[in-house]
Structure 1
């Protein structure tokens, strides 16, 4: 094509694109295209297994009678549009859940018409959000949700509990609290770990919880082999569910901690020497398994154990999922009703728990319903502390030594001195061999004790460090009484 014919084609495409689409950039510099009046945005550079902007622009030009253009004209037009978009205001894009104006939040139903749920303390309704308030990003993991039912009178929560095999009322209220947390874009929620005997329906229960948020296409996955693949899966959806875990490597455990509370990852941009791109993420995470072995203390503070039991009556998969599909609009409607109810309730934020936002949500749920979610959450953390201690011989030895310290008293030594003291206590008079992984230097011991600090503090033993003129030291203090939250935890 001659040069004088290229310019008109490029101008036709550019004029059509600017008339029918809105272009903007996100904080990381990615340019998105959004059809006028529609909340779904597509990245300019995406090849689009769910439909790229280049494809929708070509289809629009053809259907509106503007013609079929070659790749060169399209590329030149899109390059110009992308450059112009870099001067526009920054606006974030969201997957599934997003903050809105006036304290509202939005839930993407994944529908082609863009209909979403607006949740506000005054109520919820289904509407198409203003594109300048909410921009949705869709991926292959974005499933479609049914339009939630109105005026359910809470029946959906009861229907869900009857379909799942939760062991007791405490587990049920923790599952409800987690689902409520999934609808709060600014609240980090602990990762529920569905556990129980073989045949308790852990995978099925996990799918049911996930599909309330992600639609019927939501499913469980095997844990990726490395952190990079895990991050890719997490970034493409809202709830990430990992099935049948039997072992957690330190790397996977650390990655899960980052997913729950949020982190930013910086990587080199492809085909460049110095450019980088940033990926920030914080997502709800769900795990299933019978036993994952030793749990690291930092992950234990971010877990929410949900115990299931074997059902007395078995049902076929077809019957179970047919009923679930039928009642899903009612379940979602009841969950939205409960979300509105708790957002209208004020509650104090517990200051002694790591996941303070989730603890406050539990307190709001208790104030609105009287379920006792906060008490159940504290008890679950106490059980997890027991699991950490039972799997860590060093923690057990520290607690044995702490029993020899007077309540309220403190004992101070160098890290090397503590290593000798605890090693002597463990080996005993019969000099039993040290277990694999036992600290070999004072520095290693100091690092291990720092990681165990929250677990030991929950058992009334405080570990502190400092420096004097003589050098660095570790100090062990035994509290006079258990921490206040451990008192009166019985249901």
Structure 2
């Protein structure tokens, strides 16, 4: 009896696979395969048409002269390998950016040889990471980046600013801070919202920013119509860029808040009765558009407005992108040089801003370069607060009422009493009709005020909730040290 007859096909495949690949599981129980010495990992259950582990296993068996096996033998071997891998240690997989040892972070260049960039406060270099330190997961959205240029001396940042049409120096330093934040795996960064007049190059500028991180195949996309498709697109890449937004529904606004600061989605696994799978995501987000209408307060705290202006001289697409592709290695190298300087800089963390990690990054950027990024970030948030107030008649009415409250004093009423008071103030003596969306009950008013609380606080009006022995109340106060809020008469 021959050796092939003694060993079933599934045993031959299993022995070959364990000799050439390392198998491990992630925290959610997904089993991945990693070729020995290579940092890229693939889920063994992937049935994708390109780059699946099943395919690389079949190709390896064929090229090494072991043979071609049918689907049944392959399935039985992978079932056994998966069961064995579930007893191994847990290791995470990462898309594009990953934490490393000794305070370093890694940037996946998307190359077939696995070469990546290791970024450390002492410098950066190009190397292939230890597979047990970093496991890269790649999808069809993972593009290839060029090898960054060494000793760029900041020339790449100047080239990028010349190619983009940013309106002010403050906008430029905020864009730089966002790019540095994208290279950090654990720093939530606000979503840049590229805005400006028609023809200002918002989509082109967005593509340029995205392609520094995602490569020349990175592009903008239309916003999906439902949250499920949006989450699928976000989880498959690193930077998610949505183009030409003209309206933002409450559901889309809430989904964007989750993308920026992180969330998890749990769904039932297909073809099962009770199993579930988890999709965790926190990704850099970029938006473009002329105007998205009313911005909700919780999203406003997570946005980074970047205004562009119309270029004085127009260029062809071919000419523009050819210059960009040639400059990309220098741009990436300059960004890495600046990232090293920023991470080595010491700065205090501002404690009054919601996105404290990004505010600290801006403070570090100022310490390293003196650009004034933190002041520009504060000014942008102030502008967004104005946008929220201008688009919310309830906020304008509360500020108008608060203008009559003496500094250092407060007023307490039930939610129903506040609704009657604010409604009467808005309608006035001429009984002006109430706008669409005006609160109809005290509970709705209370919920709206909770959303507006940070925006009103930025204008010197504090809203708080409490309870007496008989009822709950809402308190509106003006601290004695706060400036008097301006009345929003123009919107009335």
Please classify the TM superposition score into its range, dividing by the shorter chain length: over 0.9
Cα distance in 1 for partners of 2:408, 2:399 equals 15
Deviation at 1:8, TM superposition (A): 2.3
| Residue of structure 2 in register with 1:255 after alignment | 255
Deviation at 1:49, TM superposition (A): 3.5
Work out whether 1:86 is the aligned partner of 2:86: yes
With normalisation by structure 2, the TM-score equals 0.97
Cα distance in 2 for partners of 1:272, 1:71 equals 23
1:317-356 equivalences under 5 Å are 317-356=317-356
Alignment partner of 2:175: what SS? helix
Work out whether 1:382 is the aligned partner of 2:382: yes
Work out whether 1:111 is the aligned partner of 2:111: yes
| Residue of structure 1 in register with 2:178 after alignment | 178
| Residue of structure 2 in register with 1:488 after alignment | none
Cα distance in 2 for partners of 1:140, 1:337 equals 29
Cα distance in 2 for partners of 1:69, 1:291 equals 57
Structure 2 runs not aligned, ≥5 long: 484-492
| Residue of structure 2 in register with 1:56 after alignment | 56
Work out whether 1:434 is the aligned partner of 2:434: yes
Q: 1:463 to 1:6 in 2, by over 3 A?
A: farther
Work out whether 1:153 is the aligned partner of 2:118: no
| Residue of structure 1 in register with 2:45 after alignment | 45
Deviation at 1:10, TM superposition (A): 1.2
Deviations 1:39-75 (A, max 9, x none): 0000011012331101100000000010111111111
Cα distance in 2 for partners of 1:137, 1:384 equals 36
| Residue of structure 1 in register with 2:358 after alignment | 358
Deviations 1:165-184 (A, max 9, x none): 00000000000000000000
With normalisation by structure 1, the TM-score equals 0.97
Deviation at 1:470, TM superposition (A): 1.5
| Residue of structure 1 in register with 2:270 after alignment | 270
Give the number of equivalent residue pairs. 480
Cα distance in 2 for partners of 1:309, 1:42 equals 44
1:66-145 equivalences under 5 Å are 66-145=66-145
Cα distance in 1 for partners of 2:42, 2:124 equals 27
Deviation at 1:279, TM superposition (A): 0.6
Q: 1:245 to 1:328 in 2, by over 3 A?
A: same
Deviation at 1:5, TM superposition (A): 4.5
| Residue of structure 2 in register with 1:458 after alignment | 458
Deviations 1:157-206 (A, max 9, x none): 00000000000000000000000000000000000000000000000000
1:5-24 equivalences under 5 Å are 5=5, 7-24=7-24
User: Does structure 2 conserve the Cα–Cα contact (< 8 Å) formed by 1:97 and 1:105?
Assistant: yes
Cα distance in 1 for partners of 2:221, 2:155 equals 30
Deviation at 1:7, TM superposition (A): 4.8
User: Which moved further from structure 2: 63-72 or 394-403?
Assistant: 63-72
Cα distance in 1 for partners of 2:296, 2:335 equals 33
Superposed CA RMSD in Å reads: 0.9
| Residue of structure 2 in register with 1:399 after alignment | 399
User: Does structure 2 conserve the Cα–Cα contact (< 8 Å) formed by 1:6 and 1:73?
Assistant: no
User: Does structure 2 conserve the Cα–Cα contact (< 8 Å) formed by 1:50 and 1:139?
Assistant: no
Work out whether 1:284 is the aligned partner of 2:267: no
| Residue of structure 2 in register with 1:240 after alignment | 240
Deviation at 1:482, TM superposition (A): 3.6
Deviations 1:356-415 (A, max 9, x none): 000000000000000000000000000000000000000000000000000111110000
Cα distance in 2 for partners of 1:90, 1:317 equals 47
User: Does structure 2 conserve the Cα–Cα contact (< 8 Å) formed by 1:266 and 1:276?
Assistant: yes
Cα distance in 2 for partners of 1:408, 1:31 equals 61
Deviations 1:90-125 (A, max 9, x none): 000000000000000000000000000000011000
| Residue of structure 2 in register with 1:293 after alignment | 293
